[in-house]
Amino acid sequence: MKTTLRLFSILCLSALVGCQMKAPADVDSGAHRLPPAESNALHEHFHYKADGSILVSGHRGGREKGFPENSIEGFENVLRQLPAFFEIDPRLTKDSVVVLMHDATLDRTTTASGRLCDYTWAELQEVRLKDYDGNVTPCRIPTLEEAIVWSKGKTVINLDKKDVPMERIVSLIRKHKAEDHVMLTVHTGAQARYYYDRLPGIMLSVFMRNDAEYEDMAISGVPWASMIAYVGPTIDETNRHIVERLHRLGVRCMISVAPTHDRLKAEAERADGYRQEIGKHPDIIETDIPTEVWKALK
């Protein structure tokens, strides 16, 4: 499969204004999609091919006016404008329902306050999500299960490591046979091995920012073909040797501009920062603002 994100030539469609309340299974027929689900398609899509392609990952799903982070409506808004996959954040409610929420508290992103783990799923039904500017939207907090069902055949969701026990994640992926469109972030070789032993077809997003993390992952015995590697916020003299080593093993290397250029106030400044990173040839850029990174890539 030779399709890469930079080869998509479909014109970006206009973003919706405001959050659209619709069934999680719905997606606009004009939206971009990642490769179709088939045997080994995910591994092939993320395999490093030395072709200069750069993939885009929406950190927390991405942010744009009127669309909250970690919301299915927000994912759909991004897919209408570019092909992307999404890093999202599973957390547990008081009654152990797995929902999407980056923070341990509700204050920043919702109309409620306090700790998520102090609310039951039923109590969260009246809560609404806010966008990045603090505007209240009609969007509700989604469950991880809803996101898994919605993403099938549309995109890949990458589950960050929060407070959900790993066995719960394995159970949900098995239930929905979701190894072809769910990726798991792991911080250690032991975590990688745990998931690989139980889900041998899973793709993993692994931390390899330095030699110690590289060696820890290498001794795990998890195949390199099952990984992408997060190497830090940029590629420089401290990690370039790791990137080169991973490329020889066929592993794509991801940077994140979420803690750096995404935080600049002016769009023009952000664009300059994105272009600087593109010039360092990462294979994946994770960003809070995938629409702007996509413009810089084009």
Domain ranges for the chain, please list them. 34-89+151-297
**Confidence class of residue 31 from pLDDT cuts 50, 70 and 90?**
confident
Contact (Cβ atoms closer than 8 angstroms) between residue 68 and residue 76:
no
Q: Establish how many alpha carbons lie within 13 A of residue 111's alpha carbon, considering only the half-sphere containing its beta carbon.
A: 14
Distance CA 207, CA 104 (A): 22
Query: At which residue do the structure tokens 């954040």 appear?
Result: 89
Lowest average pLDDT, out of 25-34, 88-97, 242-251, 282-291, goes to 25-34
Contact (Cβ atoms closer than 8 angstroms) between residue 30 and residue 80:
yes
- Per residue in 58-68, pLDDT (tens digit) is 999 999 899 99
Distance CA 145, CA 153 (A): 15
For domain 34-89+151-297, give the fold. TIM Barrel (3.20.20)
| Residue 33 pLDDT | 81
Contact (Cβ atoms closer than 8 angstroms) between residue 290 and residue 84:
yes
- Per residue in 211-227, pLDDT (tens digit) is 999 999 999 999 999 99
| Residue 174 pLDDT | 98
* SS3 call for 83: coil
Mean pLDDT computed over every residue of the chain: 90
Token couple for 118: 């102090």
Per-residue DSSP letter, 186? E
**Confidence class of residue 37 from pLDDT cuts 50, 70 and 90?**
low
DSSP state string for 98-120: EEE-SSSBSTTTBS--SBGGGS-
